Structure 1
Amino acid sequence: MLQNTPFPRWLILLGLLTAIGPLAIDMYLPAFSAIAMGLQTEPGLVERTLASYLLGLALAQLFYGPVADRFGRKPPLILGLVIFTLASFMCAQSNSIEHLSFWRIVQAFGGAAGMAIPRAVIRDRLNTRESARAMSLLMLIMGVMPILAPLIGAQVLLFSDWRGIFSVMVFTGGALLLATVLSLQESMPKEKALPLKPSHIANNYLSLLQHRSFMCFSLAGGIASAGMFAYIAGSPRVFIHLFEINPQHFGFYFGANAAALIFTSQVSAYLLKYYAPEKLLRVAQNVQIIFVLAGVMLTLSGALTLTTLMIVLLGFMACQGFINPNAAALALSAQGKRLGTASALMGTLQMLAGALAGLAVSSWHSNSALPLTTVLAVCVSLSWFFGRKALKIQVENLP
């Protein structure tokens, strides 16, 4: 059970470990133009390093899941942090967009450990409703990073070049590595260790892919999160180039949307004392689809302004604060014997969807916000569909 304090130390550390992914995603967003200029390449190729990072996050989680179910949660976390720290150093040394793209993928293979394993640690310790509360609290901790990361990145550019941003990532990875080694306790009992055999791993993943409730809840949360990655990939172009926001002020607009996510995730944690996670998920998805469809209509009609865009994005992000933790907790609720593998597959689905959404936004060239609002609408509509299907399956399985 969660302690009376809303922030037990183990949960804070898990939040920071999960936040290392958003740190590496968001911190270099204000430096896109500087990287393009410094490496003498096109801005679109710099944007695609974000898709490369998301692809690396997706594939690497498939590795960490079975390893975490065999050797426990702590060893693969340590391995991931070592890889992340070394790759961050090499990103700072890159002299071409090809080298940067390669080391971003390696960096993602390290950061993936912090994305996949903390969810399994939470489920090791807590039941479904408490897990949903813990994941909401986790979002508060990791949600600070999307606010701080672009602000920190913009400030680093005042006294250093874009390479200094990756140097900050080196320091952060090293600090989290030290904290994990010294303070994180293993949460998986030794008797629950699963064999690390290719046939067993393949059977586990195949079984999960055939588990209708797990897949639908995972896709409901994962595809909605893909909309977030579309926003992350497209926001520098929309805010800085379309609406001519000063790059130094970009972090404030970006942070306002992250603040909405943080606030509503804590409202979700509070409401879980009185309402089931299924109900919170259903209502949030209904509201979210209204906001994003309104965004598409405003864009097509030419009525989209910076103010109305912010309203649409704030509504989208606010609903995410309810959707992400509740969908994740419901997806993992029946996977007690293979939590690491299930959490990894869920994260992989989320990152693959995010990579595709980010690639769609960066590849769609337009002088309007249509690429961003359209991709958001597609992601949210698919999320709504899978959410409804998951809840229907759950009702059908009731005794």
Structure 2
Amino acid sequence: MALPFSLLLLLASLAGLTPLAIDMYLPSLPAIARDLDVPVSQAQLTISVFLAGFALGQLLYGPLADSVGRKPVMLGGLGLFTLASIGCAFANSIETLMAFRLLQAIGGAAGSVVLNALLRDMFERDMFARIMSMVILVMTLAPLVAPIVGGYLLLVGHWHSIFVLLAIIGALVSVALALRIPETLKPEHRQPFRLWPVLQNYGRVLRHRAALGYIGCGAMTTAAMFAFISGSPLVYIELYDVPAEHYGLLFAMNIVLMMVLTFGNSRLVPRLGSDRLLKAGLTTAALAAVVLLFCGFTGFGGLWALVPAVMVLIAQISLVGANSMAGLLSHFPEAAGTASALAGTTRFGLGAVATFAVNASHAVSALPMTLVMSLCAWLALASYWLLVRPALAAAGRK
């Protein structure tokens, strides 16, 4: 079953809202701190708050998507995202900004859950991984341009204008998806929204060894990315004196390599299978982490040694993200929304922990960021070897 390009663009727009909401305001964090008269580390906590809200939202949306359908959940979440973005635009204190960022994240969480479940309704495992790679390939345009747009909005306006733009984008995506996206969950496959069955479904996933491994692979790799997102404004702008408007260009270099690997993944999945590509991505990330931590600990090579190591590690999310999700959902096709929600909650929950760990040190140093990123990459690989690999061996697969 082919996916029409217009539908691909809409799904990518849905997936792109979260990276837009995270990445577009990264260059403005020092400006937000100055404007609201708080330390930069406190402004960075708005990232942790967003990730925590995103994690909590997915726990709710997953069972709802399996109960009332994909489309109502998607549109309700987008409405909340849009309204909360307006609230962020008018925030005049760090507490108000954090509160609306929390609501913005809870609304945006619907898109991630619905996207995974919707595609799982339409495609089998390896085709899911291939289509997801195509969606991610188009979606990566969002984090590619978001920091650049945010940096230049600061030159011509104020940081509040970034959230005005996010509200406009959220409203446009809501209208387009309402008109174009069909309901994919058949009535006979809907599960009543009752607390005990929901907890049972979560328990089934948590008791499944391979599922835990797939969740761990995706979550720890994503946590490494969020450690970078949280720490890079301080490291690049404050430590290495990169201008805010140029920060987005360095950030975009990561996304370009991600796009290359995403395209390659979509082509290689039919030939190699999602599990082999997952292992390749995890191994590469773990090796890049060795170089990254060395650079962070010694300062060797400065910015231009740090950037390539970051690029290689972050780019592996293209392989790990789609293939770990394909592996997870292949075990729970009848509860794709719930399984996807649990995976998403774990990813963004650990992402919040990673950003908090990076921000716990107030030193202007690359070491906190590189240390957290490296630990996450190594734990992701450990999840594969300790949990996924034994399950594959038992099933007679490599």
TM-score range, shorter chain: over 0.9
- Contact 2:189–2:334 (Cα < 8 Å) also in 1: yes
Q: What pairs up with 1:1-399 in 2 under 5 angstroms?
A: 1-3=1-3, 8-388=5-385, 389-398=387-396
3-state DSSP of counterpart to 2:271: coil
Quote the offset at 1:378 in angstroms: 0.6
- Contact 1:295–1:304 (Cα < 8 Å) also in 2: no
Quote the offset at 1:179 in angstroms: 0.7
- Contact 2:215–2:346 (Cα < 8 Å) also in 1: yes
- Contact 2:234–2:364 (Cα < 8 Å) also in 1: no
3-state DSSP of counterpart to 1:364: coil
CA distance in structure 2 between the partners assigned to 1:318 and 1:87 by the alignment: 30
CA distance in structure 2 between the partners assigned to 1:114 and 1:320 by the alignment: 19
CA distance in structure 2 between the partners assigned to 1:304 and 1:67 by the alignment: 50
TM-score by length of 2: 0.97
Quote the offset at 1:276 in angstroms: 1.2
Quote the offset at 1:68 in angstroms: 0.4
Letter in 2 for 1:397: A
Alpha-carbon RMSD across the aligned residues, in angstroms, is 1.2
Quote the offset at 1:358 in angstroms: 0.8
- Contact 1:19–1:142 (Cα < 8 Å) also in 2: yes
> Which segment drifts farther, 376-385 or 360-369?
360-369
Letter in 1 for 2:119: I
Show structure 1 runs of 4+ deviating over 6 A.
Answer: none
CA distance in structure 1 between the partners assigned to 2:381 and 2:253 by the alignment: 25
Quote the offset at 1:134 in angstroms: 1.0
3-state DSSP of counterpart to 1:95: coil
Quote the offset at 1:365 in angstroms: 2.6
- Contact 1:2–1:130 (Cα < 8 Å) also in 2: no
Quote the offset at 1:2 in angstroms: 2.8
- Contact 1:265–1:321 (Cα < 8 Å) also in 2: yes
Count of aligned pairs: 396
Quote the offset at 1:300 in angstroms: 2.2
- Contact 1:208–1:215 (Cα < 8 Å) also in 2: yes
1:115-137 deviation digits (Å, cap 9, x = unpaired): 11101111100010001111111
- Contact 2:219–2:343 (Cα < 8 Å) also in 1: yes
- Contact 1:278–1:391 (Cα < 8 Å) also in 2: no
Letter in 2 for 1:149: A
Gaps of 5+ in 1: none
Gaps of 5+ in 2: none
CA distance in structure 1 between the partners assigned to 2:310 and 2:292 by the alignment: 8
Letter in 2 for 1:330: G
CA distance in structure 1 between the partners assigned to 2:353 and 2:67 by the alignment: 31
> Which segment drifts farther, 74-83 or 308-317?
308-317
1:77-130 deviation digits (Å, cap 9, x = unpaired): 000011000000011111110010011000101000111110111110001000
